[in-house]
Amino acid sequence: MIDVFGFREGSAPLLISVPHDGCHLPADMRAQMTPAGTELPDTDWHVAQLYEFAGDLGASILVANYSRYVVDLNRPATDEALYPGQLATGLCPTETFAGDAIYADDAEFDRPARVQVFWQPYHDKIRATLDAIRERHGYALLWDAHSIPSRVPRLFDGELPALNIGTNGGASCDSALEEAVNAVAEASAFSSVLNGRFRGGYITRHYGDPDNGIHAVQLEISQRVYMDEQTRMFDAEKALHLRDTLRAMLRGYLESARNMGKNQ
């Protein structure tokens, strides 16, 4: 069994979490899955590669190695819905975003075991890293990095904006930090929205605690702006332009937090 996650420690007060880029499947799970499931269509393709530059900013980077079909790290272990009244894919998904079955009809799996083996270690690492950053710097910043196809009719209407910033309606980070990140997105060449269809999943909502010095932002990127959505191939030229904006957003996040600390 490979490690549940990869981790690179940085020097800045910033942790980038990449929970849905993993493609590994345990052999026993793969054996129970349908062809549609083993294709892993709902993977956040190439997100870790997209954020490779973040190490230059001093960010710590945490990347999940296993597929979200094993267990969804951005859902609560108790599996309650994050968006009541909307379609939920769940802690251990059984259907793809398109509605195709992930498992054969006779498949059996142990959800509590998946939480213990795959979900809990990732979240333990987030907590330990944020606590260590806050101890060192007086505050900690979390950036939860995601991507999704531009069109997913079962989840949202039409085409998604390129940059979808989520702060749980402003509850997961200080307003000055939210404004700094959003201002960069609005000034960029990419369409953007703040707290639209994707307001932040479990990671953003659970760890964002601005009153206690931990701020969290989720960014959901439409895959059309850095890859070919049909072939799933990374597009280096597209990614080059997007990285300029991502770098500016992260710098704004860091600088805003630094300035806020100076003024307190």
Cα 217 to the chain's mean position, in Å?
9
Quote the pLDDT of residue 149.
96
Q: Is 257 in contact with 213 (CB distance < 8 Å)?
A: no
- pLDDT tops 60 at residue 264: no
Q: Is 17 in contact with 143 (CB distance < 8 Å)?
A: yes
Q: Is 169 in contact with 195 (CB distance < 8 Å)?
A: yes
pLDDT digits 0-9 by tens, 237-250: 999 999 999 999 99
Q: Which of 28-42, 104-118, 159-173, 191-205 shows the lowest per-residue confidence on average (mean pLDDT)?
A: 104-118
Cα 167 to the chain's mean position, in Å?
12
Quote the pLDDT of residue 86.
65
Quote the pLDDT of residue 80.
78
Q: Is 67 in contact with 114 (CB distance < 8 Å)?
A: no
Cα(40)–Cα(241) distance, integer angstroms = 27
- pLDDT tops 80 at residue 261: no
- Sorted by where each begins, the domain ranges of the chain are 5-263
Quote the pLDDT of residue 1.
79
Quote the pLDDT of residue 89.
76
| Alpha helical stretches, state H, 53-200 | 111-114, 120-137, 175-187
Cα(100)–Cα(246) distance, integer angstroms = 33
Cα(203)–Cα(205) distance, integer angstroms = 6
Quote the pLDDT of residue 79.
81
pLDDT confidence tier of residue 180, bands split at 50, 70 and 90: very high
Q: What is the residue-averaged pLDDT of the chain? A: 94
- Please report, rounded to a whole number, the percentage of residues in the chain having pLDDT higher than 70: 96
Which CATH topology does 5-263 take? Aminopeptidase (3.40.630)
pLDDT digits 0-9 by tens, 118-173: 999 999 999 999 999 999 999 999 999 999 999 998 888 999 999 999 999 999 99
Our CA angle for 254, 260, 264, nearest 5°, is 145
Residue 83 one-letter amino acid: Y
Quote the pLDDT of residue 183.
98
Strand pairing class (60-64; 5-8): antiparallel
- pLDDT tops 80 at residue 69: yes
pLDDT confidence tier of residue 16, bands split at 50, 70 and 90: very high
pLDDT digits 0-9 by tens, 160-172: 999 999 999 999 9
Cα(256)–Cα(183) distance, integer angstroms = 12
Q: Is 217 in contact with 166 (CB distance < 8 Å)?
A: yes
Q: What are φ and ψ of residue 71, in 5° steps?
A: -160, 140
- Please report, rounded to a whole number, the percentage of residues in the chain having pLDDT higher than 90: 88
Cα(111)–Cα(90) distance, integer angstroms = 11
Residue 102 one-letter amino acid: I
For the entire predicted model, the pTM comes to 0.96
> Region 83-90: what's the mean pLDDT?
70
Quote the pLDDT of residue 37.
96
Chain position carrying tokens 């083996």 = 117
- The DSSP call for residue 54 is G
Cα(42)–Cα(250) distance, integer angstroms = 25
Cα(213)–Cα(235) distance, integer angstroms = 37
